[in-house]
Structure 1
């Protein structure tokens, strides 16, 4: 028996681009919502064209806009509709779709939706039950609400980079746009709250989502410390506050590492036994947490000498078997081959009409009575134009072909002479 998925029956018009908003849409689609990714030929999702291409076997192919790994990973289980929202007919059709939908999600800058005549007030006047999720850089209100940014910028503005690096070194970024997936997960939850509100009141609402504020949640402990004491915590490198020893230690082989944390004397005793160095328990330098903190450099040297003798997977098993919190540093190849992730079905095989058979990562949770998974690969650009317009709006062949001739809909991006998009909205 096929069990209904949690968001089955909810229809979402997903205008999201890049990472944050599309990943929220992916979460909703995974949970069963009918998520319609809305793009235009002139302004498709920039990841189809502009961003660094990650293609199967490094081959872009003739329809490279449909083969981008980043686009295909973030848009599984969705349908695709192309629609020129700057064209009067495109605007009219979008408003008709709003009337038969539950949610509009977008991450344009604050100015774009009003300039298109698609602000929340306009949508709500047409459909009072519509929910609009605006996933913006700084939110809808405030002196910086017109700012635009990418995940790397929000890492700085949210305070994450201040704590990344060693105490006596420059700040560092984490190496990828961490605030984007954080925003996607948090925004996905915000819709659940909005749907519950609508269920109780019968009216929709506007979710004002700030990616910057979502990024700052990561450093919440530091913000609380400053709020209460007026002191700003310093960078600690790989050390964990309140845990000695703690850090990232070398293992046998090139660029192999393991992290471990010892939070109390009991854990310290377990680590000493695992190291076959029981005498360290009674060493005056290391007998208490305070002593271990005071002699942390000496302690790190002792542990590094020991960890360097072990392969990192083997050492992880040894530490965990002895009740020590530890984690091996895994690279992408190891994550892809990891037997635990394989056993849990984290990697999902997808048959893609353009990119071929590929494996993409799944989600970090399971529902016991509602099996989640990739029901459909990411759609090609405009793949469902006829299906959506016919099914939801009753559009016939003549009207559909007229829209195609007028460039309101289509299945190929309009590229500039340089090979980029004809334009983009910020």
Structure 2
């Protein structure tokens, strides 16, 4: 008998877009929830119109960016500016869904008549989880933005880069990736509450607040000691050596090394053969190594350049020194550890073709996950949802098409 997935039977009406919400609902879908992703071609998800595209040819169904965050979901296109589409969306919620997820600015869901205060009158057991960059309340709640803005508001950009250069925005929408686990967690908590009481509730999630928690140490240092952490490149105030070092091999080959204690330093020196320079008293303590860090890094790289990144990593790890290969995307796809764990799942997308998707990074022994289908093309499941979920007639669907409500 096939094992049931943990969220089988749960139904989610997904009005989210960009990163946080789609990733959270994707993981819920892979763990068994049935998710209907509601969107519109009149204002498509930014991820749908963002590279990379299949064969670098733009198209609303050709973005790998959108695809990787929306697998295992059904998709319906509804132009929610139209009353007819609003009625359809409301029926999906009131007649079918257990959970509503949205990622719109305050006032948007209200303008469609799809806000929690309106919906709970018909569905007091409904759970509505809403995420916004800075939350749904407060003086900046209506400021639009996404993860690239959030990392700057959250202080990450100020800390990223080199001290003699301008701040560097971290790669990707970092705050989205930091926030979606919170969204999944609070949704599970609300489901447990509903199981005990029969009551739903409204949850609003600030991406900024979720992300700022990860800067707790430097924030506390400022509040207590008045110190402001600034850009240090790859360096650390608590370790030396601590950066990436060029290694042997074609093209750019690097290995990251971090030596945090004097004991680790002694182990590092043994691995590299205890060269004469390593015995210099100025390198004997962390304070000394930090004071002479430029010279130290030059000497370390003279050693690493004789070995491949994997050789450097293996030798140091065997000695108890933290080290890791700096992998490219090509190397990540071929990584034996990731492939052993089934991290790269290939699904056949209607337009993109065979495409890599990522399953949840956790594994349940009793309730496994499953990627059931690739991300939907725009409006791909309109007929299925309207007929099978809402039991609408062909004439009713034709009226929606003629009115433009299914755009």
Q: 1:308 matched to which residue of 2?
A: 305
Q: 2:70 matched to which residue of 1?
A: 75
Indicate yes or no: 2:128 matched with 1:106: no
Q: 1:417 matched to which residue of 2?
A: none
Q: 2:244 matched to which residue of 1?
A: 248
Say which SS state the counterpart of residue 125 (structure 1) adopts.
coil
Matches within 5 A, 1:283-322: 283-322=280-319
Say which SS state the counterpart of residue 281 (structure 2) adopts.
coil
Change (3 A) 1:30 1:231: same
Matches within 5 A, 1:248-397: 248-253=244-249, 254-277=251-274, 282-397=279-394
Please give the alpha-carbon distance, in whole angstroms, between the structure 2 residues aligned to 1:111 and 1:399.
Answer: 29
Q: 1:25 matched to which residue of 2?
A: 25
Q: 2:55 matched to which residue of 1?
A: 57
Q: 2:111 matched to which residue of 1?
A: 115
Q: Give the deviation of 1:361 after TM superposition.
A: 2.9
Please give the alpha-carbon distance, in whole angstroms, between the structure 2 residues aligned to 1:404 and 1:126.
Answer: 27
Given that 2:27 and 2:359 are in contact with CA atoms closer than 8 Å, whether structure 1 keeps it comes out as no
Please give the alpha-carbon distance, in whole angstroms, between the structure 2 residues aligned to 1:28 and 1:5.
Answer: 10
Q: Give the deviation of 1:392 after TM superposition.
A: 2.6
Please give the alpha-carbon distance, in whole angstroms, between the structure 1 residues aligned to 2:337 and 2:32.
Answer: 26
Q: Give the deviation of 1:78 after TM superposition.
A: 0.2
Q: 1:45 matched to which residue of 2?
A: 45
Q: 1:85 matched to which residue of 2?
A: 80
Given that 1:259 and 1:327 are in contact with CA atoms closer than 8 Å, whether structure 2 keeps it comes out as yes
Q: Give the deviation of 1:36 after TM superposition.
A: 0.4
Given that 1:348 and 1:361 are in contact with CA atoms closer than 8 Å, whether structure 2 keeps it comes out as yes
Q: Give the deviation of 1:280 after TM superposition.
A: 5.9
> Alignment partner for residue 159 of structure 2, among 153, 159, 163?
163
Q: Give the deviation of 1:209 after TM superposition.
A: 0.8
Q: 2:6 matched to which residue of 1?
A: 6
TM-score by length of 2: 0.94
Given that 2:31 and 2:368 are in contact with CA atoms closer than 8 Å, whether structure 1 keeps it comes out as no
Q: Give the deviation of 1:281 after TM superposition.
A: 6.3
Q: Give the deviation of 1:278 after TM superposition.
A: 6.2
Deviations 1:184-203 (A, max 9, x none): 23222221122122222221
Indicate yes or no: 2:204 matched with 1:208: yes
Please give the alpha-carbon distance, in whole angstroms, between the structure 2 residues aligned to 1:184 and 1:79.
Answer: 20
Say which SS state the counterpart of residue 149 (structure 1) adopts.
coil
Q: Give the deviation of 1:161 after TM superposition.
A: 0.8
Indicate yes or no: 2:89 matched with 1:94: yes
Matches within 5 A, 1:153-192: 153-192=149-188
Given that 1:265 and 1:289 are in contact with CA atoms closer than 8 Å, whether structure 2 keeps it comes out as yes
Across the two proteins, how many residue pairs are aligned to each other? 405
Name stretches of at least 5 consecutive residues in structure 1 with no aligned partner.
411-426
Say which SS state the counterpart of residue 109 (structure 1) adopts.
coil
Please give the alpha-carbon distance, in whole angstroms, between the structure 2 residues aligned to 1:357 and 1:304.
Answer: 41
> Alignment partner for residue 220 of structure 1, among 198, 208, 216?
216
Say which SS state the counterpart of residue 110 (structure 1) adopts.
coil
Q: 1:235 matched to which residue of 2?
A: 231
Say which SS state the counterpart of residue 345 (structure 1) adopts.
coil
Q: Give the deviation of 1:313 after TM superposition.
A: 2.2
Q: 1:401 matched to which residue of 2?
A: 398
Given that 2:30 and 2:359 are in contact with CA atoms closer than 8 Å, whether structure 1 keeps it comes out as no
Q: Give the deviation of 1:218 after TM superposition.
A: 2.7
Say which SS state the counterpart of residue 240 (structure 2) adopts.
coil
Given that 1:269 and 1:281 are in contact with CA atoms closer than 8 Å, whether structure 2 keeps it comes out as no
Please give the alpha-carbon distance, in whole angstroms, between the structure 1 residues aligned to 2:340 and 2:57.
Answer: 30
Say which SS state the counterpart of residue 408 (structure 1) adopts.
coil
Please give the alpha-carbon distance, in whole angstroms, between the structure 2 residues aligned to 1:281 and 1:201.
Answer: 65
Which runs of at least 4 in structure 1 moved beyond 6 Å after TM superposition?
Answer: none
TM-score by length of 1: 0.90
